[in-house]
Amino acid sequence: MEGGGRPQPPDTQMAEAAPPQQPVYQNALPLMFPRMQIPATPSYGGSSALNSETNESAAIKKIVNAFGNKVDAKRTLREIKLLRYMAHENVVAIRDVIPPPQRECFNDVYIVYELMDTDLHQLICCNQKFNEEHYQYFIYQILRGLKYIHTANVLHRDLKPSNLLVNENCDLKICDFGLGRVNTESDFMTEYVITRWYRPPELLLYSSQYSAAIDMWSVGCIFMELFIRKPLFPGRDHLHQLLGTPSEAEMEYVNENAKRYIQQLPNYPGQSFSEKFPNVHPLAIDLAQKMLTFDPKQRITGEFVAKE
């Protein structure tokens, strides 16, 4: 974890064809990955394909009966709209949306993305060894992509290892913007977002007013998971997710009902990360703790971390 500057990469049956004016995608041949041991997992979206016009590999995500559920349809539309306007090395690129042969057959949606080899969850679960350069390069790319997303006034709201795509060169891209949304202060926010293990205290306490700090908490969880190779907060339900009893000052943003509930619980001291994870570098522990503060106002920002 020592040293400044930008981290360097460590050494380490398809759907019916679209109309003629659209690119044609064909099944791609398996690739060999010499730099990292890539587990055999489906590409993001499930199918790997080759654009016969550009000879470019791609991932095709099939959304079955896309309009059968209003919530799922809105999430699909939200992801397409957000990714169409994003262009960054650490955010997955949307290449195309394949229309149906006839309008009357428009039930399934096929979204074409750039192809990546696997995701961070699969790498954490397999026997792929990480070194200090891996840790630095992964966290740098996550924060770099997140800074771009937050600068566009967008919250991702579902950051987790399976939503971080990786290739053989350890290049990382943030994906799955189905829960993403534009951060407008006057809007009412849905509190039930983010997979529970990566959900910050303000959402566990049903706060409907939150900020980009929710994504930073998730990054802190992911960062520690790289080291310990398992989720940092694997509670069975939301009652098991709080780490230590917060002080009165830390509960300033909490609504009265949630505050009364917390005050009725037994007082638990917070655990020392350095004692619980003695094999993790002290600088990594320090960075993780700054991203995992109970009070979102005190949580470190991605921009600050990237500079540091």
The pLDDT, as a whole number, for residue 197 is: 85
pLDDT recorded at residue 4: 55
CA–CA distance, 176 with 157 (Å, rounded to integer): 10
Q: What is the pLDDT of residues 256-291, one digit of tens each?
A: 676 677 677 766 666 788 888 999 999 999 999 999
Answer for the pair 96, 61: CB distance below 8 angstroms, yes or no.
no
CA 18 to chain CA centroid, nearest Å? 31
At 185 the pLDDT is 46
Instruction: Give residue-wise pLDDT tens across range 1-34.
Output: 555 566 767 765 323 333 444 454 444 323 332 3
CA 13, 28, 89, 232 torsion-angle sign:
positive
For the chain (length 308 residues), average pLDDT per consecutive 10? 62 40 42 37 60 81 83 87 93 88 80 91 89 92 94 91 94 90 55 69 71 92 94 64 59 68 69 86 92 88 74
DSSP string, 155-174: E-----GGGEEE-TT--EEE
- List Cβ neighbours of 248 (8 Å cut-off, separation of 6 or more): none
Catalytic residues: 158
Helix and strand element counts for the chain (H, E)? 9, 10
What pTM does this model have?
0.78
Amino acid type, 33: F
H or E element: which one contains 58? strand 56-63
Beta strands in the chain (DSSP E): 25-27, 46-51, 56-63, 94-98, 109-114, 118-119, 154-155, 164-166, 172-174, 181-182
Show the domains of the chain with their CATH numbers.
25-114 (3.30.200.20), 118-307 (1.10.510.10)
Closest Cα to residue 178, out of 120, 266, 267, 92? 92
Q: In the structure encoding, which two tokens stand for residue 184, read together?
A: 């407008």
